[in-house]
Amino acid sequence: MATNSAIPDVERKVLAASLIFVAAMLGLIAYAAIRLGISVPTCVTGIKPFEEGELIRVGPGRYEAHVVAKTWSFKPNRIKVEKGSVVDFYVTSKDIVHGFMIEQTNVNLMAIPGAVNYAQARFEKAGTHQILCHEFCRAGHENMMASIEVTP
Amino acid sequence: MSQSSSKEAEFFPRGAIAFFVLMVAFFSIVWMFFYVLMIRRH
Amino acid sequence: MIQKNLRAVIVLELLFPLTLLLFGAYHGVLQVLYRAGLIQDTSFLGIGYYTGLTAHGVINAIVLTTFFGVAFGHAVISQQLEQSVSAPAAKAGAALMILGTLVAAGPIFAGKADVLYTFYAPMKAHPLFYIGVVLLVVGSWVSFWGWIPGYLRWRRNHPGRKTPLGAVGIFATFIIWQMCTLPVAYEVLVQLIPWSLGLTAGVNVVLSRLLFWFFGHPLVYFWLLPAYVMYYMIMPRLAGGKLYSDFYARFVFLAFIVLSTPLGLHHQFTEPAISSGYKALHAALTFLVAVPSLLTAFTLAASLEYGARQNGGQGLFAWWGKLPYLDKERWLFPYLFLGLVIFILGGITGIVNASYSMSAMIHNTSWIPAHFHLTVAGPVFLAILGMSLYLSVGLLGKKIAAPAVAVSIPYVWTVGVFTFSAGLFYGGLKGVPRRTNLGMSYLDPLSDAYRPDWRIGEYIGAVGGCIMGLAVLLFFYVLVRSLASTRSEQESDSFALPVSEAYHDEDIGVVRNFRPWIVAAVIAILISYIPPLIQVLGANYPLVSE
């Protein structure tokens, strides 16, 4: 018989191998989320939408930053914390959609008008981290930045 | 379907299997690199 | 044979967007020059950076891909389902699509729709931009509807016969398209157009994004599946081989109907207002949709291997050498083959993007365009270029000009896009943002924000982008010269797309019917999207305007 009308068995095995491959990656991601606490932004309740940006010192080495993104600035623009601080970032926008990315951290958020986003970062080393907007927001987008200074 | 006289044994795609194994191995290495990077940046 | 009364429509639908591609590609090259800081300005030759970026995205990723899907669909359906395409529907569809494109192009080139191809609210564009997009999409629907009566008739006239594979693939493409364009139609018609006309106070931005990305992911399968049709239906024949398994080819197309849509949240991992639990579900489904593509890689390799061994290919790997890489007679082959090579990297970087918490490393950095230039500007674009040339030359009875150049274009493109993406992947991991005119700040040595360590990624990207531009110029050279050659009515009448035989030609009931797969798709969408939709609607986000 030149052509076979039976499903080739090897394809079934390739399908199984593919499913195992993706399941393995999903398993590792689940492990990172559940055991190591590495996850993605979720819906935050319990914080009222804020109009003004401010840095609130909650305790020694503990801060809450309310960040308001607006064309084309972040408020507060310069955040100063001491080495070893843990900062809860709450981020929103006053006008259109902006991005909020803090270099050398895992904080990478979208700032959306009407909603509040949240991420936490711990600043172990002294130095300055740049914050920038990475979602197009018209003319001054390429100059929309802020910074976090971590003092020794 | 027409029958060709030169086809005696069933074609078994061992070359495709070798390619697929290499491709998935490559994917695994690349993905693990980023997984480890993510953990380290946390 | 392709219906005679569709010839003009198909050729028009191929050549109209290709003409626009001249602008789209020009703006692509300009992008890399701005980003490398070689142009340090907000505009060049009268067109702003973000205007150009909008034109680049809309022309290349929306207009070109939609027109091509319809045109190629007309060709495949009419050839495989016995000339049953409704020509009036095809013409009406083409008219709407062309009108829509022109209507949207006006505000774009006038700088009144600098919103990029994602048009995120509450950045407002001129109402004609949104109206043009609606007309383009409705035109594609009408073109699709014109295939349905003929298909149903064909099924009635051929009970027991399998629907030809190419037609199955095209229908899968457009079933996905029909389903996923509905939420974005709601976003545009109900939320955006009234607001842009001043009839409403603002937009529920969170809802608009949920609706857009409901559409935004299956959009990429709308782009990709016509290329898959070529890979399964045409490529094995070009290589002298056979499609290894007809059943698995059908299974893949039908699986995409189910799995293409219920996972759009992976584009929204870093957004507020949606629970991480729902995002996790979508991440898991995204991993599942990788499976049909992994299967495709194997099936296509097996199909090529069959052909290569027929040509004397030996060994475990040496047989790869027996494929028609530089054969001027089969010049279409490298457009398809190299697209798949590019897609290997496009695929793994896509899997990284889907990997939930990994998004913090790469979201909205230059990594993202690096990824999607290895997918939409890889397999999809090369398939569009190759098949547009093949179809327009064939339908018009012309001869391909400079076949040596024609066969080399995908190689030039591959070098270019790999170089481009290498630079932007590297930069992205260092934090270089996308959608940003870097030359005005981060790559301006006189700016306080200057980042010298970001130069290398963008310089490499610029080299790649220029090579891609060169490939496009070579393509237009071949296209124009071919279309200018003398026409042969006989060649035109006898032209048909090559169709591969199947090695395993199985007849399995579950892949012989669209209905169960469409039902499964709807169920999957309901499960994955109703909870986040309820969450978003329940939170009553305010109407916002810019």
Across C409-428, average pLDDT = 98
Q: Please confirm, yes or no, whether C373 is among the known catalytic residues.
A: yes
Interface of A with C in 68-127 (CB under 8 A): 91-92, 95-97, 99, 101, 103, 106-110, 112-118
The β-bridge partners of A81 are: A150
Per-residue pLDDT for C247 more than 70? yes
Cα–Cα distance, C128 to C366 (Å, whole number):
30
- Tell me, yes or no, whether A29 and A93 share the same domain: no
Does residue A108 lie within any of the structural domains? yes
Query: Does pTM surpass 0.90?
Result: yes
Q: How many CB pairs under 8 A join A and C?
A: 199
Tally of domains in chain A: 2
Cα–Cα distance, C363 to C371 (Å, whole number):
11
In which residue are the tokens 């408020």 written?
A75
Q: Is C236 within 8 Å of C269 (Cβ atoms)?
A: no
Instruction: Give the mutation candidate from A107, A136, A144 for the C interface (greatest C CB count, under 10 A).
Output: A136
Residue C248's SS3 state is helix
- Tell me, yes or no, whether A69 and A110 share the same domain: yes
Task: Report the top-level CATH class of C4-544.
Answer: mainly alpha
Contact at CB, B1 and C501, closer than 8 angstroms? yes
Q: The domain spanning residue A85 has which CATH number?
A: 2.60.40.420
- Tell me, yes or no, whether A72 and A142 share the same domain: yes
Which residue of chain C has the CA closest to B25?
C348
Domain extent, residue A25, equals 7-39
ipTM field: 0.95
Tally of domains in chain B: 1
Does residue A21 lie within any of the structural domains? yes
Question: Angle C386-C390-C394 (CA atoms, 0-180°, nearest 5)?
Answer: 175
pLDDT tens track for C267-311: 999 999 999 999 999 999 999 999 999 999 999 999 999 999 999
The β-bridge partners of A74 are: A69
Q: Average pLDDT per run of 10 along chain A, which is 152 residues long? A: 74 97 98 95 86 93 96 95 96 96 94 95 95 95 96 92
- Tell me, yes or no, whether A14 and A58 share the same domain: no
pLDDT tens track for C151-165: 999 999 999 999 999
Host H or E run for residue A73? strand A73-75
Give the active site residue among C67, C221, C256, C418: C221
In which residue are the tokens 């290329």 written?
C227
Where along chain C do its domains lie?
4-544
Which residue of chain B has the CA closest to A29?
B35
- Tell me, yes or no, whether A73 and A134 share the same domain: yes
> Which candidate from C363, C504, C541 shows the least CB-CB separation from A4?
C504
Q: Please confirm, yes or no, whether C221 is among the known catalytic residues.
A: yes
Does residue B22 lie within any of the structural domains? yes
Across C436-464, average pLDDT = 97
pLDDT tens track for A26-46: 999 999 999 999 999 999 987
Per-residue pLDDT for B15 more than 90? yes
Per-residue pLDDT for C36 more than 90? yes
- Structure token pair of residue C428: 């992205």
Contact at CB, A101 and C364, closer than 8 angstroms? yes
Question: Angle C468-C472-C473 (CA atoms, 0-180°, nearest 5)?
Answer: 115
Question: Angle C263-C266-C270 (CA atoms, 0-180°, nearest 5)?
Answer: 145
Instruction: Give the mutation candidate from A5, A9, A28, A125 for the B interface (greatest B CB count, under 10 A).
Output: A28
Host H or E run for residue A129? strand A127-132
A17 contacts on B by Cβ (under 8 Å) = 20, 24
Domain extent, residue B28, equals 14-42
